[in-house]
Amino acid sequence: MNEYKQITMTETGLVEKAFDESAISNEFLLQDRIQKIKQIINKYGEDNFSVSFSGGKDSTVMSALIDMALPGNKIPRVYADTGIELKMVRDFVFDLKKDDDRIVVIRPSVPIKQMLERDGYPFKSKGHSEVVERYKRRGKTDGVKQYLGEREDKAPWSSQKSCPAILKYQFTEDFDLKISDKCCLNMKEKPLRKWQKENNRPYAIVGLMQAEGGRRSNAKCLAYQGKKLKAFQPLVAVSKEWEEWFIREHSIRICDIYKPPYNFKRTGCKGCPFAVELQDELDTLEEFFPNERKQCEIIWKPVYEEYRRIGYRLKPVASESDGKQMSLFEENDEISFTS
């Protein structure tokens, strides 16, 4: 790595300070993001924005960046209290709220369990869940056939991935687990949209990074719906490494769940069946927050049972004595939910 030296004259003589190349480019990116935030928020008007604030690392960094760009701003930080947030992260948000009246707490209109039973459970991914739900409603449309690899021609309008062989049984009459992609919509997107409308703040500032991959790799700094601006995503251009540098360099207060002994890498909804590394996530929860681990078994019960039955994402829970599946906790264990 290249090293640069800055020489400054002080009262005690010449002082030499070394900079490495990465620190300079990190600083450059920081100034670039600050300028971008100033430019966009001033252009569209501070009163039209709100920040989607989850208490996770990305939204905490984004909130700090906005404060650096626009000191004294009054942009609300909107937190969706869904009942499936990690308790430690939720506590962090409520603790911040004591000294920051910009933090606003919103809640979905229906409790999670009730909503899942009514609208369907998430399974594998948003894309997969949406196609299964479409199949249940409309049968084997061209799009469904394409997902199942039953069409020779690849429709030009679809960039959909193909269904893993292990999940094709879900496209039959007999499969009766209710699946849909509505969980994110009902738990987070709808309550946020409702709040935005009631408070006349049409633009959300979202801490989304291209570096996280998947659907996010095509994310743009400004996201439009038709010709209308919907979201401003100032973190799209930064990496996880940059984020760590920023937190260190500017002593940003983040939730302790990211620090030892917990060392969480991600803090989305607990036990979400969309998590590719779900088993690892549950194992980590078991180690540090066993009560929340148990909540996951209750909330996502039908999905976890199906994952275990087909050997997908979750390993079977073996009994110590006879190899049969056993409950992860006793029937009368007391489980407290956060909301």
At its nearest, how many Å lie between ligand SF4 and the CB of residue 116?
9
Is the CB of 123 or the CB of 242 nearer to ligand SF4?
123
- Cβ-based nearer residue to ligand SF4, 75 or 299: 299
Question: Are 201 and 47 in contact, with CB atoms under 8 Å apart?
Answer: yes
Minimum distance from CB of 187 to ligand SF4 (Å)? 4
Could you tell me the two tokens for 164?
A: 């893993």
Q: Exposed/middle/buried for 130, CB within 10 Å: 0-12, 13-18, 19+? A: middle
Q: Shortest distance, CB of residue 167 to ligand SF4, whole angstroms?
A: 17
* Complex with ligand SF4: residue 41 or 204, whichever CB lies closer: 204
- Please identify, using beta-carbon distances, which residue of 40 and 181 lies nearer to ligand SF4: 181
From the CB of 289, what's the least distance to ligand SF4, in Å? Answer: 16
Please answer whether residues 108 and 138 qualify as being in contact, where contact means their C-beta atoms are separated by less than 8 angstroms. no
CB of 335 to ligand SF4, least distance (A): 17
Cβ neighbourhood burial of 98 (10 Å; 0-12, 13-18, 19+): exposed
∠ CA 79-50-71 to the nearest 5 degrees? Answer: 105
Residue 176 CA, chain-centre distance (Å), reads: 28
Query: Closest approach of Cβ 112 to ligand SF4, in Å?
Result: 8
Nearer to ligand SF4, 75 or 88 (CB): 88
Which residues in this chain contact ligand SF4 in the complex, by CB under 6 A? 84, 122, 183-184, 187-188, 268-269, 272, 274
Q: Which is nearer to ligand SF4, 49 or 121 (CB)?
A: 121
**Cβ 222 to ligand SF4, closest distance in Å?**
23
Query: Please, which residue, 64 or 219, has the CB nearer to ligand SF4?
Result: 219
